[in-house]
Amino acid sequence: MEKIISYIERITGEKNLSSKSWQEIVDNVVLPQMAGPKGSRWCINDMFLNLMAEYAVEISCKDQTLAPILFEIGLQRLSCGAVLHDPTPWPEPLPKKYWDYSSKWDEGHVMTEGCINFLLKASEQCLQFDMTKDHALKILFGLMENTYQDGIFKSSHLLGQYQNMADRLFQTAEKLVEQYAPFEEVYPYYTRPGQWEKHILYLSKHQKQINWKDFFKRTKAVEKLNIFNRWIEKKTIRKRIEYASLK
């Protein structure tokens, strides 16, 4: 914990924080000085996101009630312009005491270095808490959905100057989603139109759980073909998926 205190003191210029409780440090230093006060910020500051990224595990262990609140503040920043994803409620589930740090009323802002650090280093801890797990998964699914298989973002402006991080972000999101979400939750995302080829290895490993009629209905992979070519393409796609995990 002393390393975190030293880090906060170095970034904020505050002194003697070791004499204060973690709750006091969060409420009086971390949030107002590192996240940024409501009304004077465009978005949650990278100072806060980087703190959460570098000390994600320590923060989780320090206070099991306060940790998910801090992670949710970070996730709401990602939802405010950095990652396109399915809707999630905000400022809830933050307690009303912390609504000033919700990004609901902030300006949308593209990906920053702090966002990338948070995604790469703090996402897994977000998946450990009931408050933040669903929100984190939606962000990770959205991150993959808006990325081509070769790591190029469809909405490339979201990454700004960090285009070279697209592939690493995709791989991190894919690994965490497949580790922490059950097939029943992953499957609807992986079978959205234009998505299944990115995740062919996962689908191959779970092929016994796939209802193929439902698969083709969801993916719309053959809907533009005539009846004969549709039959051929269905057969081809099934074979690609069935044998993908054997390569």
Say if residues 60 and 67 touch (Cβ distance below 8 Å): yes
pLDDT at 217: 96
pLDDT at 241: 96
Report cis status (omega within 30 of 0) of the bond before 91. yes
What is the per-residue pLDDT for 209?
A: 96
% of the chain surpassing 90 pLDDT: 81
Instruction: Please list, in sequence order, all residues whose beta carbon lies within 8 angstroms of the beta carbon of residue 24, skipping any fewer than 6 positions away.
Output: none
pLDDT in tens, 14-24: 999 999 999 99
Q: What pLDDT is recorded for position 247?
A: 65
Model pLDDT, residue 156: 65
> Which tokens sit at 241?
């998926």
Report the interhelical angle of 183-190 vs 166-180 (nearest 10°).
140
pLDDT at 149: 65
Please name which of 127, 117, 114 lies closest in space to residue 176, comparing C-alpha atoms. Answer: 127
pLDDT tens digits, 33-69: 999 998 889 999 999 999 999 999 999 999 999 999 9
What is the torsion angle, in degrees rounded to the nearest 10, for the CA atoms of residue 15, residue 18, residue 19 and residue 25?
A: 80
Low-confidence ranges of the chain (pLDDT < 50): 1
